[in-house]
Amino acid sequence: MGKILVVGSLNMDFVVNVKHMPQVGETLLADSLEFIPGGKGANQAYALGKLGADVTMLGAVGNDSYGDIQIGGLKAVGVDTTHIARIEGVNTGIALINVNQRGDNSIIVVQGANKYVSREYIDKNLKVIEESDIVIFQLEIPIDTVTYAAKKAKGLGKTVILDPAPAPDSIPEELLANVDIIKPNETELVKLTGIEEVDGCMNKAVDTIKKQGVKTVIVTLGGKGSFVSSQNNVVKHISTQDVKVIDTTAAGDSFIASMALYLSKGKDIMSAVEFANHVASISVTRKGAQSSMPSMEEVEKYISELGLGKQR
């Protein structure tokens, strides 16, 4: 099993459970409020640790109680947190998450210490990249840093995976040229390509990204599974099981983490995506982000109950 490095955000999630998403000018009474460790980077590292991966996290938190909670939680599932920076005088990142009764969510992120993940920080931790096999990025830290670090990782021969969330209006060509695998959802794909009706133009939308240098594009489709266009231009729709959705907050994070784990074991991309669909299906049946991440034993039990055999 190879080493996986997650370079990304660490946030404290303030989760507000509501009957429906508020409209402009509308005041709602919430059903409940929860404080949960999150951030796309931390969620992905946590999911990998829970699944038994050899995983290290690079990122930054404030020198505050939220930072203590983040680092403690990651350590508890075996994530190497040695290189996470503590920034004096700056708060740990915060995410404000509304979740409705269908499990749909909307998220606003206050970057906080995540803004301090800089080129200099990457240079200081270059050895960590050198020792890794797969490097995962998201876009909740400065995109200039992501571009710089991805170029460094690719130059060192690492497999670079990008979760383009939150999706910007455009991604630098230099970044995409150094990405092996990108995993947008449908909303992010529309924003990245400008193609509004991706359902009928999936191949066109995916090809728009691949022309910029990305080898493999995986589009997650929620309950409809995933669309994969591989490095060898093999195109496949991989379906998923119907489940009762409680909370989709960590669906994408659990997907990308479990896919990376499978790739680190030498599995092919289609098998990795199929496995990731199963893990994401479990996560959406539970509340919260990191609290929804399953262990490998739980995943194997789920797959066994589907009659698909053991996944290792």
Q: What is the pLDDT of residue 271?
A: 94
Does residue 106 form part of some domain?
Answer: no
Q: Which two tokens stand for residue 266?
A: 């030498």
The pTM of the full predicted model, rounded to 2 decimals, is 0.90
Position 221 pLDDT exceeds 80: yes
For residue 192, give the H/E element and its range. helix 186-193
Q: What is the pLDDT of residue 312?
A: 53
Q: Where residue 193 falls among pLDDT bands split at 50, 70, 90? A: confident
Dihedral (Cα; 296, 167, 150, 116), 10-degree rounding: -100
Q: Is 211 annotated as a binding residue?
A: no
- Do you know the residue count of the chain? 312
- The answer to whether the CB of 147 falls within 8 A of the CB of 175 is yes
Q: What is the pLDDT of residue 286?
A: 85
Q: Is 98 annotated as a binding residue?
A: no
Does residue 146 form part of some domain?
Answer: yes
Does residue 199 form part of some domain?
Answer: yes
The rounded distance, in Å, linking the Cα atoms of 152 and 141 is 16
Give φ, ψ of 72 to 5 degrees: -60, -40
Does residue 71 form part of some domain?
Answer: no
- Kindly report, residue by residue over 56-97, the tens digit of the pLDDT: 999 999 999 999 999 999 999 999 999 999 999 999 999 898
Provide the residue range defining the domain that includes 254. Answer: 3-9+40-61+79-84+115-305
Does residue 150 form part of some domain?
Answer: yes
The rounded distance, in Å, linking the Cα atoms of 26 and 18 is 13
Dihedral (Cα; 62, 63, 68, 73), 10-degree rounding: 30
The CA angle 166-104-202, to the nearest 5 degrees, is 60
Does residue 238 form part of some domain?
Answer: yes
Give the chain's domain count.
1
Position 308 pLDDT exceeds 90: no
Give φ, ψ of 97 to 5 degrees: -120, 120
- Please tell me which residue, 102 or 312, carries the higher pLDDT value: 102
Does residue 50 form part of some domain?
Answer: yes
Q: Where residue 287 falls among pLDDT bands split at 50, 70, 90? A: confident
Residue 169 annotated to the active site: no
Q: Where residue 311 falls among pLDDT bands split at 50, 70, 90? A: low
The rounded distance, in Å, linking the Cα atoms of 293 and 223 is 18
Q: What is the pLDDT of residue 199?
A: 67
Active-site residue identified among 54, 68, 253, 268: 253
Least confident of 26-30, 159-163, 223-227, 306-310: 306-310
Distance of CA 163 to the CA centre of its chain: 6
Q: Which two tokens stand for residue 290?
A: 């990191």
The rounded distance, in Å, linking the Cα atoms of 115 and 137 is 14
The CB-based long-range contact list for 262-269 (8 Å cut-off, 24+ gap) reads: 263/134, 263/159, 264/1, 264/2, 264/3, 264/4, 264/53, 264/54, 264/133, 264/134, 265/1, 265/2, 265/312, 269/181, 269/216, 269/218, 269/228, 269/230, 269/231
Q: What is the pLDDT of residue 118?
A: 98
8-state DSSP, 292: G
Q: Where residue 239 falls among pLDDT bands split at 50, 70, 90? A: confident
Edge-to-edge, what's the strand order for the sheet holding 216-220?
54-58, 3-7, 134-137, 159-162, 181-182, 216-220, 226-229, 235-238
- Kindly report, residue by residue over 14-51, the tens digit of the pLDDT: 989 999 999 999 999 999 998 889 999 999 999 999 99
Q: What is the pLDDT of residue 208?
A: 86
Per the omega criterion (within 30 degrees of 0), is the bond before 142 cis?
Answer: no
Tell me, what CATH number does 233's domain have? 3.40.1190.20
8-state DSSP, 185: B
Cβ neighbour number for residue 33 with a 10 Å cutoff: 9
8-state DSSP, 92: P
Q: Is 67 annotated as a binding residue?
A: no
Q: Is 257 annotated as a binding residue?
A: no
Q: Is 248 annotated as a binding residue?
A: no
Position 309 pLDDT exceeds 70: no
Position 307 pLDDT exceeds 80: no
Does residue 310 form part of some domain?
Answer: no
The percent of residues above 70 in pLDDT, for the chain, comes to 97
Q: Is 40 annotated as a binding residue?
A: yes
Distance of CA 64 to the CA centre of its chain: 24
